[in-house]
């Protein structure tokens, strides 16, 4: 180390005034460039929390100021930005402290012991904690951006007839482009009802931020638990969506994505009918003989045959005895009855609900220059795709007109502006890093040039000193060791030690004279 310091000291001593100034300036500029580059990189701010409530934003800012952490605001003060290299640590630290609370308090309010609190205050704190916990839970539902829960718990009464049921209301704010499905509405309803003692699902009201009532008290149809079956409205909507997707995907392959809008309205018959039919027909052309009954009567002799029991014997037909000369008589009667089997067919036809009663399809194409032949071709294509049945009075409407793309254009411009800002920031960082690298390179070149110049000057001075010493020796010999020569030698040595540049000029002058 001592040798290194000595070499540095000798190097510094050999430098001239302007060389020392240039070296110091280069080192300062390089250090400043490095500091600026690292500072610009370290001050890249990213969102810590977005869309905060004012109370939560104040709590978070107070905590950041307490630790001396730099921050910035964005989005009307609802978004807090912090340095990117600290965002994860700060989130974990604030989460451990329960921040942000989301504008509500949960069960942590029960940890705050209040001496002398009344029963009413304890009851209200419990209600606030229950509402806050439900709010935090509902915010975890997919698509829900924010929520508020209000619970009404009636006063307890000793008389059953005077007891009032509990009720609750939920306000949800959805993320852009998202809506609550029927399953999510039912899930939130039963979540709230199952978390509050004595609260029935029919007493829960869910409203979105647009004022649309998603479920009302007593709406049993929307509050039925999922059982694997679909309602008639769900079946109709799914059928319509399937046909709409089929038509739109088919036409977009021809006119391009985003250039076709299709809507399908299906009228379904959900009546369930049962048809019972009983048919009789012969088993074969001749028939299948089931039973045969044959009756044969025969009489031979004089007189009339005795009557057989039956209808004929009951007829009051007088008979007269035959005379003495009566002749012999013969009587014969044959009767046959045949019974044939018949095929008996019993049919029970159950017509399931959901039969298509009528379809109405509307198609709009983003082109106002379509000819009638092209519109007819599209209409025929759509009719074949949906299974058009003229007997059902199905309708298809196909028109061509220019779409209004102003909203999409604004969104695209906003996205392009954001991307351009990101590219500009990246370019600025690249410029800073490039400038820092350039300054470091310039400093390195300046140091290299200074070192080379110092080395060349040192070699030149050494050569001059050698020549000076030889000249002094020659003059000393010529002056036979006189006092003047000694004095001149001493002055020359002193001059060479103090002002080597001046001594070099004198030597050059002597050499020029010779």
Written as one string, the DSSP assignment of 292-356 is EEEEEEEEEEES-PPPPTTHHHHS--------TTPPEEEEEEEEEEEEEEEEEEEEEEEE-S-EE
Binning pLDDT at 50, 70 and 90, where does residue 13 land? low
CATH of domain 227-279+344-403: 3.30.300
Assigned token pair, 119 = 């029963």
Which alpha helices (DSSP H) does 69-212 contain, by range? Answer: 87-96, 119-138, 182-195
| Range from 117-121, 200-204, 240-244, 250-254 carrying the lowest mean pLDDT | 117-121
pTM: 0.41
Binning pLDDT at 50, 70 and 90, where does residue 14 land? low
Mean pLDDT, residues 272-291 taken together: 70
Cα torsion angle, 389, 395, 398, 403, sign: negative
Q: Please tell me the distance from the alpha carbon of residue 93 to that of residue 77, in angstroms, as a whole number.
A: 21
Domain 45-97 adopts which CATH fold? Alpha-Beta Plaits (3.30.70)
Q: Name the burial class of residue 149, with classes exposed (0-12), middle (13-18) and buried (19+) by CB atoms within 10 angstroms of its CB.
A: buried
Give percent of the chain above pLDDT 90. 5
Contact (CB, 8 A) for 168 and 195: no
Binning pLDDT at 50, 70 and 90, where does residue 22 land? low
Contact (CB, 8 A) for 305 and 299: yes
Contact (CB, 8 A) for 85 and 42: yes
**CA 106 centroid distance within chain:** 28
Mean pLDDT, residues 71-79 taken together: 74
- Within 10 angstroms of residue 202's Cβ, the number of other Cβ atoms is 17
Give the β-pairing of 144-152 and 167-174.
antiparallel
Q: Is 53 helix (H, G, I), strand (E, B) or coil?
A: coil
Mean pLDDT, residues 327-337 taken together: 75
Query: What's the Rg (C-alpha) of the chain?
Result: 55
Q: What 8-state DSSP symbol labels residue 226?
A: P
pLDDT tops 80 at residue 361:
yes
Helix 483-498 and helix 406-478, axial crossing angle in degrees, nearest 10: 170
Mean pLDDT, residues 78-85 taken together: 80
- Within 10 angstroms of residue 471's Cβ, the number of other Cβ atoms is 15
Q: Is 47 helix (H, G, I), strand (E, B) or coil?
A: strand
pLDDT tops 80 at residue 421:
no
Contact (CB, 8 A) for 333 and 296: yes
Q: What is the pLDDT of residue 339?
A: 74
Binning pLDDT at 50, 70 and 90, where does residue 87 land? confident
Give CA torsion, residues 180, 185, 187, 189, to 10 deg: 140
Q: Average model confidence (pLDDT) for the chain?
A: 76
Mean pLDDT, residues 60-86 taken together: 81
| Range from 6-10, 183-187, 391-395 carrying the lowest mean pLDDT | 6-10
Q: What is the pLDDT of residue 497?
A: 74
Taking the alpha carbons at both ends of the chain, their separation in whole angstroms is 47
Give per-residue pLDDT as tens, 391-410.
Answer: 888 899 999 988 887 777 77
Q: What CATH architecture does domain 108-156+163-225 belong to? A: 2-Layer Sandwich (3.30)
Q: Please tell me the distance from the alpha carbon of residue 204 to that of residue 408, in angstroms, as a whole number.
A: 38
- Within 10 angstroms of residue 303's Cβ, the number of other Cβ atoms is 12
pLDDT tops 60 at residue 288:
yes
Give percent of the chain above pLDDT 70. 70
pLDDT tops 60 at residue 323:
no
Q: Is 212 helix (H, G, I), strand (E, B) or coil?
A: coil
Q: What is the pLDDT of residue 19?
A: 65
pLDDT tops 50 at residue 225:
no
Strand-pairing partners, residue 344, are 280
CA angle 490, 496, 500 (to 5 degrees): 165
Task: Write the Ramachandran bin of 358: left for phi over 0, alpha for psi from -120 to 50, otherwise beta.
Answer: beta
Q: What is the pLDDT of residue 68?
A: 85
CB proximity list for 491: less than 8 A, separation 6 or greater: none
């Amino acid at each position: 180390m001592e040798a290194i310091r000595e070499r540095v000291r000798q190097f510094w001593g050999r430098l001239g005034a302007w060389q020392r100034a240039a070296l110091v300036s280069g080192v300062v500029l390089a250090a400043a460039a490095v500091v600026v580059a690292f500072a610009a990189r370290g001050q890249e701010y990213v969102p810590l929390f977005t869309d905060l409530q004012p109370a939560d934003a104040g709590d978070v800012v107070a905590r950041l100021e307490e630790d001396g952490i730099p921050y910035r605001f964005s989005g009307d003060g609802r978004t807090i930005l912090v340095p990117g290299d600290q965002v994860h640590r700060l989130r974990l630290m604030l989460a451990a402290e329960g921040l942000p609370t989301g504008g509500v308090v949960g069960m942590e309010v029960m940890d705050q012991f209040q001496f002398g609190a009344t029963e009413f205050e304890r009851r209200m704190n419990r209600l606030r904690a229950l509402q806050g916990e439900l709010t935090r839970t509902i915010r975890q539902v997919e698509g829900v951006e924010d929520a508020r829960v209000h619970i009404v718990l009636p006063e307890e009464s000793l008389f059953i007839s005077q007891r009032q049921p509990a009720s609750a209301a939920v306000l949800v704010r959805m993320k852009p482009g998202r809506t609550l499905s029927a399953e999510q509405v039912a899930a939130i309803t039963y979540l709230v009802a199952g978390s509050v003692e004595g609260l029935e699902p029919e007493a829960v009201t869910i409203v979105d931020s647009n004022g649309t009532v998603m479920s009302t008290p007593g709406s049993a149809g929307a509050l039925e638990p999922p059982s694997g079956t679909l309602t008639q409205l769900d079946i109709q909507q799914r059928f319509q969506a399937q046909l709409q997707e089929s038509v739109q995907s088919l036409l977009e392959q021809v006119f391009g994505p985003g250039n076709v809008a299709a809507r399908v309205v299906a009228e379904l018959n959900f009546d369930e009918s049962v048809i019972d039919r009983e048919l009789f027909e012969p088993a074969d052309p001749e028939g299948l003989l089931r039973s045969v009954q044959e009756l044969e009567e025969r009489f031979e002799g004089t007189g009339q045959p005795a009557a057989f029991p039956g209808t004929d014997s009951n007829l009051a037909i007088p008979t007269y005895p035959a005379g003495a000369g009566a002749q012999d008589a013969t009587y014969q009667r044959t009767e046959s009855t045949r019974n044939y089997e018949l095929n008996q067919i019993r049919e029970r036809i159950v017509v399931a609900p959901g039969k298509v009663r009528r379809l109405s399809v509307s198609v709009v194409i983003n082109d106002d220059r379509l000819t009638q032949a092209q519109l007819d071709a599209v209409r025929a294509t759509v009719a074949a795709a949906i299974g058009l049945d003229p007997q059902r009075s199905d309708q298809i409407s196909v028109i061509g007109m220019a779409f209004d793309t102003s909203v999409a254009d604004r969104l695209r411009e906003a996205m392009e502006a954001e991307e351009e800002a990101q590219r500009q920031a990246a370019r600025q960082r690249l410029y800073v890093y490039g400038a820092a690298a350039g300054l470091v390179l310039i400093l390195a070149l300046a140091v290299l040039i200074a070192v080379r110049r110092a080395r060349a000057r040192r070699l030149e001075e050494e050569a001059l000193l050698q020549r000076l010493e030889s000249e002094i020796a020659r003059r000393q010999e010529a002056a036979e060791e006189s006092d003047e020569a000694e004095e001149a030698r001493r002055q020359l040595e002193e001059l060479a030690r103090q002002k080597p540049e001046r001594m070099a000029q004198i030597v050059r002058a002597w050499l020029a004279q010779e």
